[in-house]
Amino acid sequence: QRHVSKQQYLHGKKILISAGPTRETVDPVRFFSNRSSGKMGFALAEAAANLGAEVTLVSGPVSLQTNHPNINRIDITSAQEMYDEITSRFDHQDIVIKSAAVADYRPKFMHQGKMKKKDRDYTIEMERTKDILATLGEQKRHQFLVGFAAETDTPIEYGLGKLDRKNLDAIVVNDISSDGAGFEGDTNIVTYINKKKQQKSIHQATKSDIAYQLFELISQDLKDDDR
């Protein structure tokens, strides 16, 4: 029985996870998006559910499925929709992990009809979206807040900056320029950094393996925080 309870060490915890890309509409047939597959976020959701947590998974458009009874999946399209679904659920959560690749910009104007091409070049004016994670960092009370950062240059440095700037409890940094890491693959290579700036490198492993290792690190930090 001890074995079973150890495997369910997230039992009773409410965990909110965001996954996948967002899509920012240009017109009825076009959008801006990014390469996120959602695999890391879904792996986190599955791992948390298997460890006994009650999981809410807010996902952008991905071609992945979940059928775990502990996962409540909410599908969204745009950064604004993700903002609404995440911020309205934030109060009730114990752990929030933002692995989604949220668009930083969206077209300033949405065309109702399909845009027709002209001979001349065309410029689309873009405006900033809201930073969901930074908003959660400001509103945070008891929640353990984890961000992700996918970087190509000096990942740790940028990661540390985001950890501080967004008031996070931890950040998972991933160097998308190295083989075996990043968006579309089944494996990843990450570094977990907590707010004491303790770094833990996780070697190349499946996204599922990495998800379990991340929850061990998060639970350890939660225990040390003594909340």
Among 40, 44, 76, 102, binds ligand CTP (CB under 6 A): 102
Helix 132-139 with 79-89: angle, nearest 10 deg: 20
The answer to whether the annotation marks 32 as part of a ligand binding site is: no
Nearest approach, Cβ of residue 27 and Ca ion (Å): 23
- Residue with smaller CB distance to Ca ion, 94 or 151: 151
Residue among 81, 100, 128 at smallest CA distance from 20: 100
Check if 194 is active-site: no
Q: Which stretch binds ligand CTP (CB under 6 A): 58-66, 125-133, 175-183, 205-213?
A: 125-133
Using CB under 6 A as the binding rule, whether residue 147 contacts ligand CTP is answered as yes
The interface partner of residue 100, options being ligand CTP, Ca ion, none and the CB cut-off 5 to 8 Å by kind, is ligand CTP
- How far is the CA of 194 from the CAs of 48, 122, 129, 197, in angstroms? 19, 44, 26, 5
The sign of the CA dihedral 209, 9, 86, 200 is negative
Would you say 30 and 84 are in contact if contact means Cβ atoms under 8 Å apart?
Answer: no
Q: Which stretch binds ligand CTP (CB under 6 A): 109-117, 145-153, 185-193, 199-207?
A: 145-153
- Residue with smaller CB distance to ligand CTP, 15 or 102: 102
DSSP state at residue 197:
-
Q: Which residues are catalytic?
A: 34
